Amino acid sequence: MGFVVLAVVLAALIIGQAEVLAGLLADAVLEQPSPSELAGPLLAFGAILAARAAVAWAQQVLAHRAAASVKASLRRQTQHHVQRLGPGWVGGQHTGGLATTLGRGLDALDPYFTGYFPQLFTTAVVPLAVLVYVATADLASALIICVTLPLIPIFGILVGLQTKKATDRQWKALERLGGRFLDLVAGLPTLRAFGRAKAQALAVRRSAEEHRSATMATLRIAFLSALVLELVATLSVALIAVPVGLRLLDGDLGLHTALLILLLAPEAYLPLRVLGSQFHASTEGLAVAERVFAVLDEDPPEPAASALPDARAATASTAPGLRAGVGRIELVDVTVRYPGRDTPALDRVSLSVRSGERVALVGPSGAGKSTFLSVVLGLVRPDVGRMLVSFGARSGTADDMVDLGDINLAEWRRHVGWVPQRPHLFARTVADNIRLGRPDADDDEVRRAAELAHADEFIDRLPWRFDTELGERGVGLSAGQRQRIALARAFLRDAPLLVLDEPTAGLDAASESVVIEATARLMAGRTVLVVAHRPAVVADADRVIRLERGRLAGDEPPDPDPDQGTATTPIAGVS
């Protein structure tokens, strides 16, 4: 509404300015007034110029506020929607391209909201107002404006179609450049180890050259567009000026009217010319907006509204020390297929886990162990089959169990402690990274969780202890230290169901023994699903489930004599 009011005020000021200036010039030529007689019109002319400047300032203020609001809203909506889409969807995207879109990309919307958007209202109001006013002064000139005015948007659309194609190519080149640069930075140690850093740098350089070429192509079209629109507008004004001049010489038109038409005619074409140039300046932002709306149009899994019991309710009677929450877990003919893969990651897997039971999952790489855990966590939805759960002290009969697909996943995950193989640490303090397990935990609870995970042993040696800022992905910490922070998160969460994905993978013997001890303490009194490849971890399990090629290949108790191999010796056939 504000832009409409400002556009109407601007149209009135433009017409008023033309009237005052035409009157001044006509009087100066015909009547030669004294300076005192010119003072009033000159003051009015100055006031109109000041008012036009104020209107332009108000338009920019409104436009910048709108741009900031829309960008913040789009970032917030997109981030929330990406979270709803889940890790499965994110894993199929190029992280660098997505980050570029949400960061630098959305900033490209500024020219649209600060230039093109307010100009739309000006273009809708000013030419029409000028045309009507000119028609009251000279109908013939108004007819010429009516005929020539549509030529500017027609030529603008023709050139704009080419600009859009060029801008799409430019933005895709920028996404590739951002993605390759992110790959280079993230994988620099590996690239240097294999002597491929220069080759990857050359790939980034080629992407930069592609982006430069695409940008220059877009600019060439934009400059051509400006030239075409200027030419059409100039010729249109000339078509009005020549007849006006001839009629003025013949005495068919008064000087004041002729000057008024010549002053107003360019104002009729100017908004359309400016709109065309602003459109070309905003095409990059429009390309980004299409990418963002494509993400928002992705259909996420439908959230359920079913509420679950509190994960930290009173002690359940089904198992001593087990907190009320997750009872029995049952997978029924679960099949999971990933796009682009012929064979399913899980193929008709059926399994039942009792409350308080510790189950180890073993099998070769690619057997489906991590996918199994993702189904339990609700990160991946089965294509076929169901995962059923019961809660509290219920018996776990068919009538007591509910489908995970009918449960609010955010509430479900409050019942789950998760320790991944490679825990992600954020560029925040150590305490903030541990507090991810329970954001409302106080400092004493964070320290207690760190002590249970043996993480305090190295945290107390850090410069600022729990307030030490970590680098991205925990740079500066060893793999064992990062794993202990992940265990501290799980201790702090204190959830009845514990899910671990190879918690000792890639650790040296000393770190592994510490992690195994902390893991054993964490597993006590909980339902546990653990992907394991070390005998010492498997020995603490009640059952060992073997997966091969996505299918259940074995269900047996653990080896009663795990000391036949060292703690760091992998189980045969498991990787």
Q: Which domains does the chain have, with CATH numbers?
A: 2-296 (1.20.1560.10), 355-376+408-564 (3.40.50.300)
pLDDT in tens, 197-245: 677 777 778 778 777 887 787 777 777 777 777 888 888 888 888 888 8
- Give the rounded percent of residues in the chain with a pLDDT score beyond 70: 80
Residue 125 has a pLDDT of 92
Radius of gyration of the chain (CA): 35
Average pLDDT of the chain is 77
**C-beta atoms surrounding 337 within 10 Å:** 16
- Please report, as a single letter, which amino acid is at residue 161: L
Cβ contacts of 451 within 8 Å, gap of 6 or more: none
Residue 230 has a pLDDT of 80
pLDDT in tens, 458-476: 888 888 888 888 876 677 7
Look up residue 114 and give its DSSP letter: I
Q: Which residues, in sequence order, are bridge partners of residue 334?
A: 349
Do residues 569 and 385 touch, judged by C-beta distance below 8 A? no
Element (H, E) at 135: helix 117-137
User: Phi/psi at 81 (nearest 5 deg)?
Assistant: -70, -40
User: Phi/psi at 462 (nearest 5 deg)?
Assistant: -75, 155
Please give the average per-residue pLDDT across 180-186, as a whole number: 68
Question: Cα separation of 457 and 455, whole Å?
Answer: 5
Please give the average per-residue pLDDT across 343-365, as a whole number: 84
Question: Cα separation of 550 and 249, whole Å?
Answer: 93
Do residues 538 and 360 touch, judged by C-beta distance below 8 A? yes
Which residue shows structure tokens 């000139």? Answer: 141
For 562-570, which contacts have Cβ atoms below 8 Å and span 24 or more sequence positions?
562/535, 562/536, 562/538, 563/535, 564/535, 565/535, 567/509, 567/512, 567/513, 567/516, 567/534, 567/535, 567/536, 568/509, 568/512, 568/534, 569/534, 569/535, 570/533, 570/534
Look up residue 17 and give its DSSP letter: H
Please give the average per-residue pLDDT across 283-299, as a whole number: 75
Residue 9 has a pLDDT of 92
- Give the rounded percent of residues in the chain with a pLDDT score beyond 90: 5
pTM over 0.85: no
Do residues 187 and 135 touch, judged by C-beta distance below 8 A? no
Question: Cα separation of 378 and 410, whole Å?
Answer: 9
Cβ contacts of 496 within 8 Å, gap of 6 or more: 311, 322, 323, 324, 325, 326, 415, 526, 527
Collapsing DSSP states into helix, strand and coil, what is residue 508? coil
pLDDT in tens, 96-139: 666 667 776 777 778 888 888 888 899 999 999 999 999 998 88
